[in-house]
Amino acid sequence: MSTSDKHDSFRGDVYDLIELEQLLKGPHQILFEGKSPYQDVLLIETKNIRLYRNDQLVWNSMDERIYHEALVHPAFVFSEHHERVLIIGDECGLALREVLKYSDVRHVSHVSLSTESLIAAQKTPEISEMNENSFFDNRVQIVQSSIYDFLQTNQHQFDVIIANLPDPQTKQDSKLYTKEFFNKLSNLLTYCGVLVIQSASPEDDPLVFWTIDKTLQSASLHTLNYHVNVPWFGDCGFHLVAKKQLEWRVNIQNRTLSEDLHSMFTFSNRVKSVRKQAGVNTLKSPYLYQLYSTSSQEIQDSEDKKELRHLLSNSHRLLYAGGTTGNQIKILETNDVRLYLDKQLQFSSLDEQIYHEALVHPALSMVKKRDRVLIAGGGDGFAIREVLKYPDVKHIDLVDLDPLMIHMARNIPQVSSLNKRALHDKRVSVHQKDIQVFQKEQKEPYDVIIVDLPDPGDEILSRLYTVEFFSKLSKLLTEDGILVCQSHSPEYAPFVYWSIGLSLKGTGMHVRSYHTDVPSFGDWGFHLASKKQLQSLNRKVFVPCQTLHEDLSSLFVFPSKYRSVRENLQINTLSNLKLHEIYKQELRR
């Protein structure tokens, strides 16, 4: 690892920076802050409030401000007047909060699309605090009728219309994105006014995104399209719409968006290439929902439900639960302890268990003997916590270079409570040293080796993912032993992920790859390596687990799009050290 005191380059995901900036601007408590010769360390605790509708995550307090500022402020920048505003959707008042920051706003009509969500928000003091009591502002009129009744009876026009519509997953929701519906919205817009519509993700569903754009244009409207990254949801798209050509005005003053908005209006060539395929969505042919990526949505729904079950099984406050069949609302509050190393998220207490159970238990459940275990990295003690669940484990060597990590895991109550005081167990020997030095000194082999090292974000860390390093570790492995290595994301960094697997194969070991979804990080991958072929992957975990299925075989199944990159991989060796360059390229992409 690096021994430099300078951390000029950020080696993590840009989402981590966005999240950290938001956390530090909101209510938080810094539990520990320090700097070692290896990295900057920040341990922070925040309140995390989430709203679920039918067990689907609607918003998360950690990054909702990014979404709602992106939804509201560009429209106000491009509109010449802001006196009268219409908001459709936004039952929790978070977009309304942003609208009311403009002193020249005189009147806001607020039309809910989900009465149950509106009731939940009004009955939950924590949401009133988040929306800064926006519903009680005397400029706001909460409309009791449906959006369709409102469009028929309203006689006034608006300078800004904000449409926070549900995704067009169903035929009914798809009708909110038709030419006919947009025509009705256009009738409510002043000639110089601006309409903004929440859209599909241009990265995940570009055809849906451009179809909404083309449908807006079919209603004789001019559009400007943009998008923003919201960490918990990914890339979110929007359309600015007006009766006349939109022109660039002044830059925007806000908390989360770039001062220069131009970057938000830039799209990759891959996204732009789909534009010509877009059609027009009409009431006679409301086909938009058929384009919506049902497979990816089903995966996301499943992940939301899995995460919700995990949250409900741990410490939490249920702030609200209610609604009708098909529109059930839950509002949760949890404490979230997060560790950032060099501003890169290391763990979140909300879901670290998902990661560490996936890291440890496949190897520990498949190996024949578990007497001796080596953990490289993992100074937070969470991997040790999982290993200690096995009564036949006799000795664990933990090797971590950073003394601050070991200090936190042992002595900071919020961390030692999470790891169940794992570093104080008599079976654990803690070594504060470089794993490369440690492995040279060892003679007695291990039944399991767990490699939980930082991502290969620079040249020094890249050396810990070479054939040569893995070969030295394999010499410390018993003949029937198993090595497991965390290997970044097969979804977001597939070349990194599969290259690590290829480098493990370069040692002559047999490799089996698997992955799981960790909400704070996305889809995360691991590799098992052994001197003998692993015959069975359907072993059951026989120690207490909260997040793994009894049958582990599902972890080893990959979508075809994940596997498709394996033909263009590079093996990482000391003479051809490329992994850190691939890592940086994939993060930029």
1 has a pLDDT exceeding 90:
no
Q: Which strands make up the sheet holding 222-230, listed edge to edge?
A: 140-143, 107-111, 84-89, 158-164, 189-198, 234-242, 222-230
258 has a pLDDT exceeding 70:
no
pLDDT at site 8: 40
Contacts of 527 (CB under 8 A, 6+ apart): 484, 485, 487, 500, 501, 504, 511, 512, 513, 514
10 has a pLDDT exceeding 60:
no
255 has a pLDDT exceeding 80:
no
pLDDT at site 4: 33
Which residues of 274-326 form beta strands (DSSP E)?
317-324
Among 232-241, 297-306, 330-339, the least confident range: 297-306
pLDDT at site 327: 86
pLDDT digits (tens, 9 = 90+) for 36-53: 898 899 999 999 999 999
pLDDT at site 257: 61
pLDDT at site 295: 52
Q: What is the model's pTM?
A: 0.86
543-550 contact pairs (CB < 8 A, 24+): 543/361, 543/364, 543/389, 543/390, 544/389, 545/357, 545/361, 546/310, 546/313, 546/314, 546/353, 546/357, 547/306, 547/310, 547/353, 547/354, 547/357, 547/358, 548/357, 548/358, 548/361
11 has a pLDDT exceeding 60:
no
Among 266-280, 305-319, 428-442, 530-544, the least confident range: 530-544
Rounded to whole angstroms, how far apart are CA atoms 185 and 109?
Answer: 14
Tell me the CATH number for domain 351-588: 3.40.50.150
pLDDT at site 586: 86
The answer to whether 452 is a known catalytic residue is: yes
349 has a pLDDT exceeding 90:
yes
pLDDT at site 559: 85
pLDDT at site 373: 98
> Is 450 within 8 Å of 360 (Cβ atoms)?
yes
As to burial, measured by CB atoms within 10 angstroms (0-12 exposed, 13-18 middle, 19+ buried), residue 55 is middle
Q: Identify which has the larger pLDDT, 512 or 8.
A: 512
**Bridge partners (DSSP) listed for residue 52:** 57, 330
155 — alpha (psi -120 to 50), left (phi > 0) or beta? Answer: alpha
pLDDT digits (tens, 9 = 90+) for 173-186: 999 999 999 999 99
pLDDT at site 318: 96
Reported as half-sphere exposure (CB side, CA atoms, 13 A), residue 442 has a value of 24
pLDDT at site 3: 32
Average pLDDT score over the chain? 91
pLDDT at site 259: 60
Tell me the CATH number for domain 53-298: 3.40.50.150
Q: Highest-confidence range of 245-249, 422-426, 531-535, by mean pLDDT? A: 422-426
421 has a pLDDT exceeding 80:
yes
pLDDT at site 361: 96
pLDDT digits (tens, 9 = 90+) for 363-415: 999 999 999 999 999 999 999 999 999 999 999 999 999 999 999 999 999 99
Among 1-10, 70-79, 124-133, 522-531, the least confident range: 1-10
Q: What percent of the chain has pLDDT over 90?
A: 74
pLDDT digits (tens, 9 = 90+) for 276-305: 999 999 999 889 999 886 655 666 667 788
Domain with CATH 3.40.50.150 in the chain: 53-298, 351-588
Which residues of 214-366 form beta strands (DSSP E)?
222-230, 234-242, 317-324, 327-341, 344-348
Average pLDDT over residues 74-93: 95
Catalytic entry in 205, 342, 447, 452: 452
